[in-house]
């Protein structure tokens, strides 16, 4: 998937992946896509809730080798 910016949140635990993503999205333009890579299993539910609360669109999420990848579109 195409993305405009990447955030490496590996090794960070809740709530740091969300906080870093929020800061990154603030610096982006409407419609741009942020790729987030995290290792915290709780980040799956966290990013789903974050998308609902903020209006940013969670385009996809996947897990491979205990790494979680999210693509989030800036509202």
Give the rounded distance of the alpha carbon of 35 from its chain centre: 6
Q: Is 14 part of the annotated catalytic residue set?
A: yes
Catalytic-role residue among 14, 16, 33, 59: 14
Note down the domain range covering 54: 5-73
What is the CB neighbour count within 10 angstroms for residue 21? 23
| Helix (H) or strand (E) segment spanning residue 1 | none
| Residue 58 φ then ψ, to 5° | -85, 105
The CATH number that applies at residue 42 is 3.30.110.40
pLDDT in tens, 13-60: 999 999 999 999 999 999 999 999 999 999 999 999 999 999 999 999
Whole-model pTM: value is: 0.96
The CA distances from residue 7 to 16, 44, 60, 71, in Å, are 12, 15, 15, 10
- Report the DSSP beta bridge partners of residue 38: 9, 68
Q: How many domains does the chain have?
A: 1
């Amino acid at each position: 998937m195409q993305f405009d910016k990447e955030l490496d949140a590996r090794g960070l635990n809740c709530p740091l992946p969300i906080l870093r993503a929020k800061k990154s999205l603030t610096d982006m333009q409407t419609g741009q896509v942020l790729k987030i890579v995290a290792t915290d299993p709780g980040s799956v539910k966290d990013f789903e809730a974050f998308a609902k609360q903020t209006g940013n669109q969670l385009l996809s999420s996947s897990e491979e080798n205990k790494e979680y990848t999210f693509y989030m579109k800036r509202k």
